[in-house]
Structure 1
Amino acid sequence: MTAIQYTPEDVGVVDLATLASMSGLEFLQAIARGELPGPPIAKTLGFNLAEVEEGRAVFISEPGLHHYNPIGTVHAGFTATLLDSCMACAVQSTLPKGTGYTTMEFKISLLRPMTKETGPVRAEGTLLSRGRRAATAEGRLTDAQGKLLAHATTTCLIFGL
């Protein structure tokens, strides 16, 4: 079996020069406005950046059958990806031009299973602390009624592009 090879044009990957020319907040706001493409993983899993401000990012999605694991619930990887994304973008929203980051580690606590009947979910990430080389954030995944489904924390490494 041969893996499909995608080019940046196929999936809308933003080039490094564009990324480096904007602050993290400017970059994320451009994605939220549709001026820049969202990350390919957002298209694959079906989630969108709904809100962003300095130190905070919110993604929304709706779990469906395509997110299911073999036992008939939404795979934990879907939850982990939403939480990793909102927390990392909360960090990114505080970074100056020419600065990047990567997730160093994160911890997730799954509180309730999700199914396609769960309906829309909201992943909200909030910055806890940011230094020159590392930042921490927390994330909460809730359903439309505000019920907490999962929560997480992350540490991100900050570096120059």
Structure 2
Amino acid sequence: MMTTTHSARAVAETVTDPELPMLTLADLGVLREVREEDGKVVVSITPTYSGCPAMDAMRDDLVHALGEAGFAEVEVRTVLRPAWSSDWITEEGHRKLAEAGIAPPGPVPRRSGPIPLTLSAPVSRVRCPQCGSADTVEVSRFSATACKALRRCRACHEPFEHVKEI
């Protein structure tokens, strides 16, 4: 492995999410671990949800960035347990989402015992990233990606995306 002034972790932390390019994989909480193992860099990532189509792009971007930084051998592993939670998005990630006009997720509700089955989406108070109003309505449960919903503000009438609580 080539010696470099950058640590592999520092390089991996600069790689952005292909679907939310204002966030790094570290901001999103997808980047789990970076370590050296048997002379290669091993990176562990967790998808935001099972079947996330961005995983191949994340893997390729990590391998490319680390290769450019001088790390000749890189392996990217997918870790499914524990499952990713929107609670893993950093404070910086929340700030960057809001600055980009995307409402960041609120905290994931914690439950004990069985989770009740409901046929309608839960009502949540999502603030508009444009004007700050909590008077918003969900237009579509899915937006450009499965992890986002499309909402509209009743105060300023602007549509916006919201990263769902998972």
Say yes or no: TM over 0.5.
no
From the two aligned structures, give the one with the greater strand fraction: 1
| More relative contact order, 1 or 2 (CA 8 Å, 6+ apart) | 1
TM-score, normalisation: structure 2: 0.29
TM-score, normalisation: structure 1: 0.29
From the two aligned structures, give the one with the greater helix fraction: 1
